[in-house]
């Protein structure tokens, strides 16, 4: 086996079939373990046309045509390669993610060339392209003109080989100028019956975060099972929704080290949604596929830095989700609720280079909507390098790179010309909210450098690099530099230390009269990998405090986060993907509707549940009666799994154990009795079962409240059926054994009596005439009201016949 590196001059060492066989045999000796038997090639017989195949395009000069021919070695079809531009221009299939370093594979194929002008024999290679200039000849054969030849052998991928890219193709030996003699070097050839057998494709690296990323008692970061950045806070019907850039989409931890490569923003075309009623326990609503070929708006490529607004349009309440389509433009999609479903009312971008007033804005992104109290809608956007037409000092201190523009009443169009927001040292992330008639615009400041006039010191009072500054105006469209009010939030690294710096992105929302600021920091990333983080950010919240003059106290970031604004209600269907804290769990979207949010809302389940994993909810209020039972909808994956319900800690008091004993692989409801779940507690659900196994998936759970026993009342009732001459009657005797008066209501088939004040220790006797000689057996109902308690006593009597 020969491994070579292709550069602009494609030098390659060729070899004879004898040498190849010897080297392959040596490889087998040094790597005695053979991979499991698994076919890795798709459509190797070309019976599905050219599906999964294409002409090698590893170099700019590679080119050719791939078609189907009936001249097949077996079956009805084979692949014909014509018009080859290079010796490497042959049929290729991508095996990335299928082959593994250190494994041995068997390769076979049939091929043929048939051209009178070509040589009598010709060597062919099966070659792997590992990306860049790394190519390895795997197996070769010498074919005879006009005859089918078999290429077969084994190959071992070196343990040191990077297989993140692995593309198999078939070619003839490299030569410097193949076009000088195309019949010898660029002949057409047919390929059929391709097979690569070896180890089954490795499972994808787990993205489940196994560390405790949010310590019990902490309220920041908000979630610890995934990442999310650029949080936009939006309150609807008392619930806070956060819309996030889906940083998790680029997370690819190495299976050995657990460390991911740096975040790649170009991969992100989804937005993540979480929500909470109390700012501590957050429900994961999953991702919205916004952009890309399968997105709601397929004419966009990315989705970053979302913004949300609600408005009544043509009598219909609608929700509008704005997002950055990379750095150069912004767009909007429309929802029926804060959770969708989502549609695109546009087939082109909302903000781009043609937007009036935005022509000179370098980055037309970070769209933040704002609907004023009078119903007027606006959109704030922009950022990036300042215009080179400005003096350097102006480029640094007042880059004029942010804009505000009016939105149409439909919320999916703009009106008029974008106006300049002259925010000092501005970089990006403009956001506006209103309070007591004043408009607050916050933004992220830049770090200087060539894009902003070189290395400088900001003007006195202006923000430093990577801070959140803010302005105050009495007009939502007018923010001259004189309206600058100060630094709202210093750089997050000041609070969370090494590895957490960089630019930020904030929003402000109001809940029940209190204002909160969102921001992000790579705190979860730091807890996974230490002080060297890879750019994966997590959402945080801090409460805002205002001075009497309307300015804002500078915000201090911390892990404590916001106070919980209300206790958690457990007596309802609660999505299992609702976490105050957790460890080792992941979530996945399913097609079923949500038990808590309705059939039209997205639904997730908790997955990757291993023995010892757990989730917890903060300040769950079971009330004075307490919870009698827990019910959960789960899908058991093994036998013997169970869920422990504990209070106030992973090892806290055990109040119940749910045996997950439904049919393996089927969704079922399981329940368990509880003892001691009374009052307000943090509640831990700890998963137990066979180690090394995925135990279950969980959809939702619900607690059932214990029924309070009816209060005992020390009142006795005696009923007798009697004869008075030839007439029958009932006699009801009531004795009050309470130490206070009671009210008594007697109800019989023959009338009722009310005694409003039967004294302590007193008694009453009431007859009820039957107006007949016979009286059938029955019962009397006596309602007794004593202090704040009400009791009902049913007393039976027998039959009687008189005269």
Annotation marks residue 428 as catalytic: yes
How far is the C-alpha of 358 from the C-alpha of 7, rounded, in Å?
Answer: 44
Cis peptide before 45 (omega within 30 of 0): no
Q: What angle do CA 187, 192, 193 make, to 5 degrees?
A: 150
How far is the C-alpha of 468 from the C-alpha of 465, rounded, in Å?
Answer: 9
Token pair 């609600």 in the structure block, residue: 310
Local structure of 22: helix, strand or coil: helix
Nearest C-alpha neighbor of 587 from the set 572, 570, 602, 597: 602
Two tokens at 739?
């130490």
The answer to whether 35 and 198 have CB atoms below 8 angstroms apart is yes
Burial of residue 452, with CB atoms counted within 10 A of its CB: 0-12 exposed, 13-18 middle, 19 or more buried: buried
Cis peptide before 400 (omega within 30 of 0): no
Phi, psi (rounded to 5 degrees) for 62: -70, 135
Local structure of 320: helix, strand or coil: strand
The dihedral over CA atoms of 602, 608, 609, 610, expressed in degrees to the nearest 10, equals: -170
Instruction: Write the CB contacts of 677 (distance below 8 Å, at least 6 apart in sequence).
Output: 622, 626, 627, 645, 647, 655, 656, 683, 703
Q: What are the E-state strand segments in 325-449?
A: 330-335, 342-343, 368-371, 377-382, 402-407, 414-421, 426-435, 438-445
Which of 103, 171, 230, 738 is the catalytic position? Answer: 230
Q: What angle do CA 11, 15, 20 make, to 5 degrees?
A: 130
Which of 428, 577, 607, 699 is the catalytic position? Answer: 428
Local structure of 403: helix, strand or coil: strand
Annotation marks residue 482 as catalytic: no
Burial of residue 559, with CB atoms counted within 10 A of its CB: 0-12 exposed, 13-18 middle, 19 or more buried: middle
How far is the C-alpha of 137 from the C-alpha of 639, rounded, in Å?
Answer: 48
Q: Which residues of 453-490 are buried (b: 16+ CB within 10 A; e: fewer)?
A: beeeebeeebbbbbbbbbbbbeebbebebebbbebbbb
Local structure of 642: helix, strand or coil: strand
Nearest C-alpha neighbor of 613 from the set 590, 585, 638, 573: 585
- One-letter-per-residue 3-state SS of 475-542: CCCCECHHHEEEEEECCCHHHHCCCCCCCCCCEEEEECCEEEEEEEECHHHHHHHCCCCCCCCEEEEE
How far is the C-alpha of 686 from the C-alpha of 692, rounded, in Å?
Answer: 16
- Cα-trace Rg, the chain: 37
DSSP per residue, 129-197: E-STTEEEEEEEEEEETTS-EEEEEEEE--TT---SS-EEEEEPPP-S-GGGSHHHHS--EEEEEEEEE
How far is the C-alpha of 734 from the C-alpha of 717, rounded, in Å?
Answer: 5
The answer to whether 152 and 139 have CB atoms below 8 angstroms apart is yes
Phi, psi (rounded to 5 degrees) for 300: -115, 160
How many helices, marked H, and strands, marked E, lie in the chain?
5, 51
Burial of residue 217, with CB atoms counted within 10 A of its CB: 0-12 exposed, 13-18 middle, 19 or more buried: exposed
DSSP per residue, 404-418: EEEEPTTSSSEEEEE
Local structure of 590: helix, strand or coil: strand
Please list the active-site residues: 230, 428
């Amino acid at each position: 086996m020969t491994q070579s590196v292709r550069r602009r001059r494609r030098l390659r060492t060729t070899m004879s079939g004898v040498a190849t066989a010897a080297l392959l045999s040596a490889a087998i000796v040094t790597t005695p373990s053979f991979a499991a038997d698994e076919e890795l090639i798709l459509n190797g017989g070309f019976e599905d046309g050219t599906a999964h195949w294409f002409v090698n395009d590893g170099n700019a000069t590679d080119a050719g045509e791939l078609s189907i021919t009936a001249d097949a070695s077996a079956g009805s079809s084979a692949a014909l390669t014509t018009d080859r531009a290079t010796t490497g221009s042959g049929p290729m299939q991508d095996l990335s993610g299928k082959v593994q370093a250190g494994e041995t594979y068997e390769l076979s194929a049939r091929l043929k060339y048939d051209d009178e002008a070509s040589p009598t024999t010709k060597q062919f290679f099966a070659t792997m392209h590992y990306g860049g200039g790394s190519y390895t000849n795997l197996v070769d054969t010498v074919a005879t003109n006009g005859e089918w030849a078999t290429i077969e052998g084994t190959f071992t991928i070196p343990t040191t080989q990077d297989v993140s890219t692995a593309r198999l193709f078939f070619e003839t030996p490299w030569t410097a100028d193949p076009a000088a003699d195309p019949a010898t070097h660029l002949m057409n050839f047919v390929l059929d019956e391709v097979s690569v057998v070896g180890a089954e494709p490795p499972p994808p690296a787990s993205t489940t975060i196994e560390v405790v990323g949010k310590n019990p008692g902490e309220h920041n970061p908000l979630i610890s099972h995934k990442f999310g950045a650029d949080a936009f806070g939006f309150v609807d019907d008392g619930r806070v929704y956060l819309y996030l850039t889906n940083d998790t989409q680029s997370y690819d931890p190495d299976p050995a080290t657990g460390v991911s490569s740096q975040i790649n923003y170009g991969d992100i075309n989804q937005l993540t949604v979480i929500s909470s009623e109390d700012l501590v326990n957050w429900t994961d609503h999953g991702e919205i596929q916004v952009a890309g070929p399968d997105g709601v708006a397929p004419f966009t490529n990315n989705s970053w830095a979302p913004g949300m607004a609600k408005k009544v349009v043509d009598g219909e309440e609608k929700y509008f989700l704005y997002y950055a389509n990379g750095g150069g433009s912004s767009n909007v999609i429309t929802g029926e609720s804060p959770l969708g479903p989502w549609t695109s009312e546009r087939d082109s971008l909302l903000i781009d280079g043609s937007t009036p007033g935005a022509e000179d804005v370098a980055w037309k992104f970070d769209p933040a909507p704002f609907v004023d109290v009078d119903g007027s809608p606006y959109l704030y956007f922009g950022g990036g390098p300042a215009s080179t037409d400005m003096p350097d000092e102006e480029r640094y201190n007042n880059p004029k790179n942010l804009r505000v523009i009016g939105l149409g009443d439909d919320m999916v169009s703009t009106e008029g010309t974008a106006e300049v927001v002259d925010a000092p040292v501005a970089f990006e992330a403009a956001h506006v909210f209103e309070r007591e008639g004043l408009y607050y615009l916050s933004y992220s400041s830049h770090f200087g450098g060539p894009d902003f006039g070189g290395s400088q010191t900001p003007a006195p009072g202006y923000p430093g690099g990577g801070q959140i500054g803010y302005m105050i105006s009495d007009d939502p469209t007018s923010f001259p530099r004189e309206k600058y009010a100060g630094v709202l939030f210093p750089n997050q690294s000041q609070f969370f230390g090494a590895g957490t710096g960089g630019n930020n992105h904030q929003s402000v929302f109001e809940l029940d009269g209190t204002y909160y600021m969102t921001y992000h920091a790579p705190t979860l990333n730091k807890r996974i990998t230490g002080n060297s983080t890879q750019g994966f950010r997590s959402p945080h919240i801090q409460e805002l405090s205002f001075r009497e003059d309307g300015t804002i106290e500078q915000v201090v970031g911390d892990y404590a986060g916001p106070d919980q604004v209300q206790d958690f209600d457990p007596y309802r269907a609660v999505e299992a993907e609702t976490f105050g804290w957790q460890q080792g769990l992941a979530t996945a979207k399913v097609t079923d509707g949500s038990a808590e949010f309705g059939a039209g809302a997205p639904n997730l389940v908790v997955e990757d549940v291993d023995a010892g994993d757990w989730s917890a909810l903060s300040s769950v209020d079971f009330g004075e009666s307490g919870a009698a039972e827990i019910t959960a909808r789960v899908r058991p994956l093994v036998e013997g799994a169970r869920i422990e319900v504990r209070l106030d800690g992973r090892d806290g008091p055990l109040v119940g154990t749910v045996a997950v004993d439904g049919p393996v692989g089927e969704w079922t409801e399981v329940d368990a009795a509880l003892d001691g779940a009374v009052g307000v507690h943090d509640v831990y659900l700890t998963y137990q079962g066979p180690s090394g196994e995925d135990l279950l998936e969980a959809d939702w759970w619900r607690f059932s409240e214990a029924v309070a026993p009816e209060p005992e009342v020390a009142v006795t009732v005696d009923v007798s059926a009697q004869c008075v001459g030839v007439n029958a009657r009932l006699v009801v005797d009531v004795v009050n054994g309470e130490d206070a008066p009671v009210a008594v209501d007697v109800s019989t088939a023959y009338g009722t009596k009310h005694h409003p004040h039967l004294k302590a220790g007193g008694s009453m006797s009431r007859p009820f005439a039957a107006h007949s000689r016979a009286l059938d057996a029955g019962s009397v109902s006596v309602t007794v009201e004593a202090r704040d308690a009400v009791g009902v006593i049913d007393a039976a009597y027998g039959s009687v016949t008189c005269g």
